[in-house]
Structure 1
Amino acid sequence: MVHFPKEPLYADVLRLGRIEGDIADLEIDGEVPAGMDGAFYRVHPDPQFAPRKPGDQFFNGDGMVTMFRVKDGRIAFKQRYAKTDKWKLENAAGKALFGSYRNPLTDDPAVAGEHRGTANTNVLVFNDELLAMKEDSPCLIMDKLTLDTEGYTDWDGELTLRTFGAHPKIDPATGNLCNISYAAKGSLSRDATYFEISPEGHVVRRAEFEVPYYTMLHDFSIAGDCIVIPVSPYSSDLSVLEQDRPHFYYDRALPSYLGVMRRDSDGSDMRWFKQEPGVCSCHVMNAYQDGSKVHLDTPVSKIGSLPFFPERDGTPFDPHLAMTELSRFTVDLKSNSDTVESIEKLGQAPGEFPRIDDRMAGKPYRHGWMITYDLEKPYNGPPGPFAGVINTLTHFDLSTREEQSWWCGPNGSLQEPCFIPRSADAPEGDGWIVALVDDHVSNYSDLCIFDALDVAKGPIARAKLPVRLRQGLHGNWADAGKLAA
């Protein structure tokens, strides 16, 4: 019999779903654009069994993958677990065998040495397969149409790393999947690898380097011929694992860094540009080169923005300091200085989960979107998992510095948005935004579609779900061409 602890992690906004299923034709308010033909994939943590002990992490739940197939003005829903090695072993045992988040010392001895990944962080169609990813384990392959799990891949022996980053970028020029791996040599190791995989599934570039300290390399960006990796003062040590504390802590004594190197290098040219005092950046909007200068746009906070990873010295979490604001880091590759040249605030609305028109990845760009906090608006629901209620969708025009927003109302919040181009050759930003809007009072979710350059007018269509999907992490769109058998 399953009994989950009576903890906020499993209640209210974060209550579990644990549902696999299909709905052939969702009820829709409004009109789905006739030109939309493809699928929106997203994933959320949803543990199938209660944890081995209380006090687990949100990031430790089994991956539940959702597919919304959009075609001919209709939207179908399909949801399946990402059946990782962990999921299969625990499903056979009928109970949890793997312990705390990223802490193998807490596992049942029967699963020693097995992959602990949950594939709960991001999903992307690439090389005719659906990739389900979590940064502490290899890449899981799922069928892009049925969502059946095929298993972990090492890319035909070309990439035998035990970790695979959760935020790959697709180079618009080559179609290569660009990604990073970190801590592949051990739970607290400083090793990292940059690699590129061709559209045909072959590893065509690989470079190894070390980070300044063990940390969470959750996201990065390509920037023309370079990659840019933000390092925030999240770290850990063996005592954390031995005492079974939350895997990461935020250490204000550490600086933050931007790592920049050429994509065609062997890793020896990596430069680390220091920023003191350190600041926190978890997700990247985009980066690009301007002559010898490299710009990285990312939401930034003065302290750690994730309340479930505590301060190293025990300082209580401060929601005000943890608010993230869209900012631009600039470094100069011709400079003899190894410090960040400047940090410029780009946006007024604080928020997270930044997205762009992915055809602009690594290039100068104009349009970006985030879900943001409107702290002046009322809220009727229970507390959420972040520093506040992410209740607004905001479009940032980085050329005019204008912002326009849509508030979802007093009963809920939004999940990460995703941009869909109107056509392959449409101008930047010409298309739609999709995002889940959750009602925390009625406990339903709607998949909402917006005009990407006019989000303020609100959804042009809502696909109404008969359930509320748990808070998700990341997802991506695949057009009809990528869905062909």
Structure 2
Amino acid sequence: MQRRSFLAALGAAPFGLTLQDVMAASVDPWAAGFAAARAQYPWLAGYQGASTDMPTSTLKVEGTFPPALRGAFYRNGPARHEIGGVRYHHLFDGDGMIQRYDISEQGVTHRGVFVRTDKFVADTAAGKPLRATFGTANPDMEPVSTPDSINVANTSLVMHGNEMLALWEGGSATRVDPDSLRTLGVQTWRDDYRGMPFSAHPKVEPDGTLWNFGVSSAAGLLTAYCVGADGALKRVQSVKVPDVAMVHDFAVTQHHLVFLLPSFIYDVERSREGMSFLDAHEWRPELGMRVLVLDKNDVTRMRWLQLPAGFVFHLGNAWSSPDGQEIHLDYVRSDDATIVTTTLRELMRGQIRPAPGARLTQLHLNLRTGRADQAITEHVAEFPKVDARRTALRHRALFTVAHTAPSGNAQALHGFDTVMRFDTDSGQVQQYRFGHRVMVEEHVFVPASANAREGEGWLIGTVFDVDAGCTKLTAFDARNVSAGPVAMASLNGVAPLGLHGLFRAV
């Protein structure tokens, strides 16, 4: 590392960088690049990561958290980005950490615990990245033996059948004790489906039925799971999908499962040549973005529709006409896959490569005619959430994070600065922008009561205040987002920026 970069990296110490970090970074060019960039871009502290569990801390509270939010707010996300001075090459590679914020009349506390997956234990024992990951496939890493050998359980969480599951894209769900955060082992739904992917965005219908899917890319299979409210598997089916794509999320209606297959296609030959899972995909715009609609009663009944080429991570909610022949769906659309192929990769070495903003999009599918129409809004947004009681039913309130900083603002950060409520009927919005020195993470909706109307409740989530050098838990009145937070609780320091979370009442 050049002397100037070394001294610049030391200047980032107030955000948690130590001399040991800097010395380790001199060994690995990705770690060195990130350490040097952190001095220039303090917001990168959110992606520094952690090497150990985070002990219980008491937060400083401003305002009053409403009684409906007394309980635990959990977040999951990649948090161990470096091991033994070697830094991963993609944000999605980091080992998952579950962070728990406890909210009570006495105040708010925080702690974070890594999910002890098989990969986490093996890498920790080796003192280096022993297993391959989503975006890193160094020659000295062990070859992938099973999906769960590289499972990082780092994407989201679901509570179902009195169990908490930490979820990832390509392997089993991991059972976690929701109180102690202790890892309990992988969830096996059926012996012949042991280790099959169980993806990160299950949908739970109002009657408690959980639907999920998994993509086995090398086999070209899509698996659909139906789990009862009691946590017992009701049925599971797998179907062959031609030109299988990277699929992160899906939607359910009263009649169907709906998948948007981006123009980002898995090539098994690339994988055989030793490429990472990410690099085994190629951009195939000539295929467009395909819409796959499966019958919930028999997923072998498949319907295909067509959209222009594009990429998608997250869907909001879907609902259908009474006969099931027309489907309305919200999703967040990008024109290409730059965010996953470049932006979130280069971020890990401190290189800033912004992707074109993904835009909130409303989609209408007509199964009678086979026509798919979409309206792309002006809103640069992500992490769409609805009142979970409306899953698979007609909804009107959609909550997202958004980027509303003026274009060309040199001070703007990588990420989102705004919490937004979008009316799916009128297109009207309420939004609160924190400012260009605050990074906003996903906010989830919590109803005010069991009988509250749709959208009547609270939004809870986290933000990283760069100037204050701290993470804050924030709560909004979901009916009046523009008024700003009704309460905030500040952590003394920066928690690793994560992906998805949930709220559990006590």
TM-score bracket relative to the smaller structure: 0.7 to 0.9
Instruction: Go from structure 1 to structure 2 and tell me whether the alpha carbon gap of 1:64 and 1:168 turns closer, same or farther (over 3 Å shift).
Output: same
Alignment pair present for 1:474 and 2:506: no
- 1:123 alignment partner in structure 2: 157
1:300 aligned residue (308, 318, 333)? 333
1:7-30 per-position Cα deviation (integer Å, ceiling 9, x unaligned): 349942422233423436421011
Q: Is residue 150 from structure 1 mapped to residue 180 from structure 2 by the alignment? A: no
Distance 2:316 2:248 in 1: 13
Q: Which residue number in structure 2 is paired with residue 141 of structure 1?
A: 175
Whole-Å separation in 2 of the counterparts to 1:139 and 1:473: 16
Task: Give the counterpart of 2:261 among 206, 227, 231.
Answer: 231
Among 193, 196, 202, which residue is 1:162 paired with? 196
Deviation string 1:141-178 (CA, Å, 9 cap, x unpaired) is 010101001111203647424211100011112x0221
Provide closer, same or farther for how the CA distance between residues 21 and 392 of structure 1 changes in structure 2, counting only shifts above 3 A. same
Residue from 287, 297, 317 that aligns with 1:286: 317
Q: Distance in 2 between matches of 1:461 and 1:198?
A: 36
Q: Distance in 2 between matches of 1:51 and 1:251?
A: 37
- How far residue 456 of structure 1 moved from its aligned partner, in angstroms, is 0.7
Q: Aligned equivalents of 1:198 and 1:286: distance in 2?
A: 20
**1:427 maps to what in 2?**
453
Give the letter aligned to residue 71 of structure 1: S
Query: Contact conserved, 2:78 with 2:92, CA < 8 A, in 1?
Result: yes
Q: 1:6: which partner in 2?
A: 32
Q: Note closer, same or farther for the CA distance 1:318–1:253 as it changes in structure 2 (3 Å cut).
A: farther
Cα separation, 2, equivalents of 1:72 and 1:151 = 33
Q: State whether structure 2 residue 71 is matched by structure 1 residue 45.
A: no
Matched, 1:27 2:60: yes
Counterpart in 1 of 2:304? 272
Pairwise CA distance, 1:474: 0.8
Q: Aligned residue for 1:218?
A: 248
Task: Map Cα deviations across residues 30-67 of structure 1 (whole Å, 9 max, x no partner).
Answer: 11112322221111211264389666111000001111
Deviation at 1:93, TM superposition (A): 2.0
SS at match of 2:166: strand
Measured at CA, do residues 430 and 235 of structure 1 come closer, stay the same or move farther in structure 2, by a change above 3 Å? same
Aligned partner of residue 389 in structure 2, secondary structure: helix
Provide the C-alpha distance between the structure 2 equivalents of 1:244 and 1:271, rounded to a whole number of angstroms: 32
How far residue 189 of structure 1 moved from its aligned partner, in angstroms, is 2.9
Q: Which residue of 2 aligns with 1:465?
A: 491
Distance 1:224 1:305, change over 3 A: farther
Normalised to the residue count of structure 1, the TM-score between the two structures is 0.87
Distance across 2 between alignment mates of 1:382 and 1:145 = 38
Describe the SS at the equivalent of 2:165. Answer: strand
1:163 and 1:371 map into 2 onto residues whose CA distance is 28
Larger CA deviation: 117-126 vs 326-335: 326-335
Deviation, 1:448, is 0.4
CA distance in 1, matches of 2:69, 2:465: 25
Distance between the aligned counterparts of 2:226 and 2:195, measured in 1? 13
1:349-360 equivalences in 2 (<5 Å):
349-360=379-390
Cα–Cα, structure 1 residues 112 and 280, in superposed 2: closer, same or farther, change >3 Å?
Answer: closer
Q: Please give the alpha-carbon distance, in whole angstroms, between the structure 1 residues aligned to 2:435 and 2:138.
A: 44
CA shift, 1:118, in A, is: 0.3
CA distance 1:71–1:59, shift in 2 (3 Å): same
Residue 11 of structure 2: aligned partner? none
Q: Distance in 1 between matches of 2:246 and 2:127?
A: 31
CA distance in 1 between partners of 2:447 and 2:139 (Å): 45
Q: CA deviation at 1:398?
A: 1.7
Query: Within 5 Å, which residues of 2 pair with 1:296-375?
Result: 296-304=329-337, 306-309=339-342, 322-335=356-369, 337=370, 340-345=371-376, 347-375=377-405
Shift in alpha-carbon separation, 1:262–1:397, aligned structure 2, 3 A: same
* Number of the residue aligned with 1:69: 102
- In 2: Cα distance, 1:72 partner to 1:410 partner: 32
Distance 1:419 1:73, change over 3 A: farther
Structure 2 CA distance for partners of 1:224 and 1:263, relative to 1, 3 Å: same
When residues 412 and 378 of structure 1 are mapped into structure 2, their CA distance, relative to the original with a 3 A threshold, is farther
| Letter matched to residue 80 of structure 1 | V
- Output the CA distance in 2 between the equivalents of 1:48 and 1:377: 31
Number of aligned pairs? 459
Q: Gaps spanning 5+ residues in structure 1: where?
A: 311-316, 481-485
Q: Distance in 1 between matches of 2:265 and 2:56?
A: 43
Query: What residue is the counterpart of 2:427 in the other structure?
Result: 401
Q: Could you tell me which residue of structure 2 aligns to residue 101 of structure 1?
A: 134
Contiguous gaps of at least 5 residues in structure 2: 1-19, 26-30, 39-43, 344-351
Looking at structure 2, the residues matched to 69 and 196 of structure 1 have their Cα atoms a distance apart, in angstroms, of 31
Relative to total residues, which structure has the larger helix share, 1 or 2? Answer: 2
RMSD of aligned alpha carbons: 2.7
Q: Which moved further from structure 2: 20-29 or 187-196?
A: 20-29
Identity %: 24
User: Cα deviation per residue 1:313-366 (whole Å; 9 max; x = unaligned)?
Assistant: xxxx9957x32221122222222x3xx431123x43211111111111111001
More displaced, 7-16 or 426-435?
Answer: 7-16
1:416 to 437, 442, 451: 442
Kept in 2: contact 1:138–1:164 (CA 8 A): yes
Partner of 1:313: none
Q: 1:462 to 1:54 in 2, by over 3 A?
A: closer
Specify the SS of the correspondent of 1:329. Answer: strand
- Name the CA distance, whole Å, in 2 between partners of 1:382 and 1:356: 28
Contact 2:320-2:394 at 8 Å conserved across structures:
yes
Distance in 2 of aligned mates of 1:319 and 1:90: 31
List per-residue Cα deviations over 1:248-299 (Å, max 9, x = no partner).
443323211111122111x221112122x31222100110102420112101
* Comparing 116-125 and 50-59, the one that deviates more: 50-59
One-letter amino acid of the structure 2 residue matched with residue 352 of structure 1 = E
Is 1:83 the counterpart of 2:109 in the alignment? no
**How far did 1:234 drift?**
1.4
- For 1:6 and 1:448, the matched residues in 2 are separated by 34
